[in-house]
Structure 1
Amino acid sequence: MGRGKIRYWAAAKDAAGVAEEPFDAANLHDLMTKVTLNRDELARVVARSSFLVNGDPVGKRPHESVALPDGATVEVLPPFAGG
């Protein structure tokens, strides 16, 4: 199980109520399940978001297949308007 930090940006930060928090999870699916538990607005934002793990885009890979090593930084990037 990896330990690291999750960073929230824009609407995800607002929904989470914090800019970042520590995590303990084996993969991205487990992490998203944990952080959205009893946080309905965050769950809605996360469902539309993209993710970076240590700066690398997750893309369309199944979240169960995205392992989180110790020291990982996961960034939650909701859709942004403009460019």
Structure 2
Amino acid sequence: MGGGRRRKGVAVATTQPAHPVKPALPGQPGPVGTIRYWAAAKAAAGTAEEPYAARTLAEALDAARRRHAERPDFARVLARCSFLVDDAPVGTRDHATVQLAEGGTVEVLPPFAGG
């Protein structure tokens, strides 16, 4: 845990995110958080993680596709992935309906062999 602070004589534990999240700036498309890529998605993206600034999962993934347009495998791998948003499975929900939160995390999980 991070440091603690006192409030009216009660110790309150605070935590620091592993990667500090900058607040959304005026004019930004939405909340700011982190996209984490795993296995083949990580290889296709060429990075383990990157920030998002988007209101929905669809917006975040569209921006990621544009960022990685020079990596031809990225869009192909992304199309086969499943997603967790703040540890909750997205499943078959329309990505345009999946809201993202300030400081949230999107996990990009390609299909795994063996279960």
Q: How high is the TM-score relative to the length of structure 2?
A: 0.70
Larger helix proportion, structure 1 or 2? 1
Give the drift of 1:40. Answer: 2.8
Higher-Rg member (1/2): 2
In 1, the alpha carbon distance for the partners of 2:58 and 2:72 equals 16
User: Would you say how many aligned residue pairs link Structure 1 and Structure 2?
Assistant: 83
Structure 1 runs (4+) deviating above 4 angstroms are none
Which of residues 14, 23, 26 is equivalent to 2:52? Answer: 23
- 1:35 corresponds in structure 2 to 64
Counterpart of 1:48, as a letter, is R
Residue segments in structure 2 that go unaligned for 5+ positions in a row = 1-29
Query: RMSD across aligned C-alpha pairs, in angstroms?
Result: 0.8
Tell me which of the two structures has the higher relative contact order, counting C-alpha pairs closer than 8 angstroms and 6 or more residues apart.
1
- 1:57 corresponds in structure 2 to 89
Give the drift of 1:5. Answer: 0.3
Which of residues 37, 49, 59 is equivalent to 1:8? Answer: 37
Q: How high is the TM-score relative to the length of structure 1?
A: 0.96
